[in-house]
Amino acid sequence: MIAATIIGGGVAGLCAARALRDRGASVTVIDRGGDIGPHACSWWAGGMLAPFCEGESAEEPVVRLGQEAATWWQDKTGLVTQNGSLVVSAARDQGDLTRFARLTRMSESLNADQIADLEPDLEGRFKAGLFFPSEAHLAPRAALQSLRAGLIESGVEFETRQADPQTEAKAGLTIDCRGYSAKDTVEGLRGVKGEMLVLRCPDVTLHRPVRLLHPRIPLYIVPRGDGVFMLGATMIEASAGQNVSARALLELLSAAYALHPAFAEAEVLEIGVDTRPAFADNLPRIRRTGNLIQANGLFRHGFLLAPALARMIAAQVFDNQTPEVMDEIHA
């Protein structure tokens, strides 16, 4: 029986644990922070399963591999909402909407009435939009908790401690899923700062993630149910400090206000900041040196790509198959 130790209990580690366990491995997950929490970058995620929208700026593998995500998460957690995604822009930024449509696939153009049919609270606010009917979203924290619970149920062990991948690898197969914390040992990894907000705004109801295009401040807003919304997210080429900048707050809130003025009355529940791990092409990588596998660089696509990454890790471990995102292998 194959035994695997996974270091890092964020979205990459938990998905890898699920995929390896499903194929019969005995799995231990080690995380310095114990249970899912703010120390994991995925704790702050938007939870959009929107491969086609991401195609606006992401490379082809993100669009293709991301299409596995909604089914995978629904199968493992049952927490996926499949309502599509809506993209809108202010009248003065119509050109950005045209560009978005040109650079993506699987969208339908909407006029003002069709937008109102989908999201009655946005009635009269936007003249044109795009709808991506096949896309989905989930609540990331609930999904991670459910995934973890399922893993415990199926016999996966969880340990709370600091672990060194090299040391663990001496004892057996080890998968390093530590994200940006692994920066010092993962060649070419950089940090991309993200800032987000959670608001409660019972005056607005949205049924699906909405993206507001803007030349400087693109925003997405994901409904979490019960009048709660996640607003995200800045993308800054820097590793995060502890704090959100005033500018980020100002921009995110202005954009939310532009989407619907009622957001001005919202309660701010949370302000979050963290560092996304990314390689130069913003695509994830799997690397293997003997007993040590590094899986990293999910960038802003943690929930979207972790299932595909986990599948590839399992195929490497069980079938010795070289994953398409593997760039280094040393026996």
- Binding positions for another protein, rule: CB under 8 A: 57-59, 99, 102-103, 190-191, 193, 215-216, 236-241, 245, 247, 278-283
Residue 268: CB minimum distance to another protein, A? 20
What DSSP state is assigned to residue 186? S
198: which residues sit within 8 A by CB, 6+ positions away? 224, 228, 229, 230, 231, 268, 269, 270, 271, 272
Compare residues 280 and 331 and give the one whose CB is closer to another protein: 280
Compare residues 120 and 241 and give the one whose CB is closer to another protein: 241
Residue 108: CB minimum distance to another protein, A? 20
Rounded to an integer, what distance in angstroms lies between the CA atom of residue 180 and that of residue 137? 24
Residue 5: CB minimum distance to another protein, A? 28
Residue 283: CB minimum distance to another protein, A? 8
* DSSP class per residue in 192-243: EEEEEEEEE-TT---SS-EEEE-SS--EEEEEEETTEEEEE---BSS---SS
Rounded to an integer, what distance in angstroms lies between the CA atom of residue 121 and that of residue 58? 30
Phi-psi region of 8 (alpha: psi -120 to 50; beta: other; left: phi over 0): left
Compare residues 58 and 309 and give the one whose CB is closer to another protein: 58
Residue 80: CB minimum distance to another protein, A? 27
Compare residues 64 and 247 and give the one whose CB is closer to another protein: 247
Compare residues 30 and 325 and give the one whose CB is closer to another protein: 325
Residue 92: CB minimum distance to another protein, A? 10
Residue at token pair 């005033």: 246
Compare residues 76 and 301 and give the one whose CB is closer to another protein: 301
Residue 216: CB minimum distance to another protein, A? 8
* DSSP class per residue in 13-45: HHHHHHHHHHTT-EEEEEETT-SS-TTSGGGG-
Q: How many CB atoms lie within 10 A of CB 321?
A: 12
Rounded to an integer, what distance in angstroms lies between the CA atom of residue 317 and that of residue 173? 9
Compare residues 100 and 229 and give the one whose CB is closer to another protein: 100
Rounded to an integer, what distance in angstroms lies between the CA atom of residue 243 and that of residue 90? 30
